[in-house]
């Protein structure tokens, strides 16, 4: 691949995540892409951690020690936050694609993401207090 085509691919890829010149709704669409990538990464990490269970009793003890780590709990909060944002924002994108609520999509984005943040905060408080 030539140097020019590599720069062109990188330029287009960087524009995919660049939110500076986009509307609020495009920021929501980009947020949906980023959360999808994060949730996909989490899936692979989740399978790696669960693979410890295949090691028998010692693996189970190592698994329990891993999930009781505060860093792991924080990562669970991030996964729930990403899942809520991705799901609710995805519902907004589907509604807009069907021509429903197009005029209020900015308000809908703010309301749905606010709901996701509130639910995530409630989840975080419960996770760290239990």
Domains of the chain: 22-129 (1.20.1300.10)
**Total residue count of the chain as it appears in this document:** 130
pLDDT tens figures, 50-86: 887 888 788 788 888 877 888 888 888 999 999 999 9
Mean pLDDT across the chain: 84
| Residues of the chain above pLDDT 70, percent | 88
Give the residue carrying structure tokens 């660049």: 18
pTM of the model: 0.74
Instruction: Give yes or no for a contact between 72 and 52, defined as CB atoms under 8 angstroms apart.
Output: no
Tell me the mean pLDDT in the region 6-35: 75
Instruction: Give yes or no for a contact between 117 and 77, defined as CB atoms under 8 angstroms apart.
Output: no
Other CB atoms within 10 Å distance of the CB of residue 89: 20
Task: Quote the pLDDT of residue 18.
Answer: 67
Using alpha carbons only, give the angle 92, 96, 100 rounded to the nearest 5 degrees. Answer: 105
25 pLDDT higher than 80: no
């Amino acid at each position: 691949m030539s140097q020019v085509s590599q720069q062109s691919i990188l330029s287009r890829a960087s524009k995919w995540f660049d939110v500076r010149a986009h509307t609020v709704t495009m920021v929501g669409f980009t947020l949906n892409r980023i959360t999808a990538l994060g949730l996909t990464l989490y899936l692979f990490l989740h399978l790696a951690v669960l693979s410890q269970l295949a090691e028998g009793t010692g693996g189970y003890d190592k698994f329990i020690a891993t999930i009781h780590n505060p860093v792991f709990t924080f990562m669970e909060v991030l996964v729930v936050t990403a899942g809520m944002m991705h799901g609710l924002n995805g519902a907004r994108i589907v509604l807009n694609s069907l021509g429903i609520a197009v005029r209020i999509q900015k308000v809908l984005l703010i309301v749905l993401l606010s709901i996701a943040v509130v639910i995530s905060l409630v989840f975080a408080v419960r996770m760290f207090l239990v």
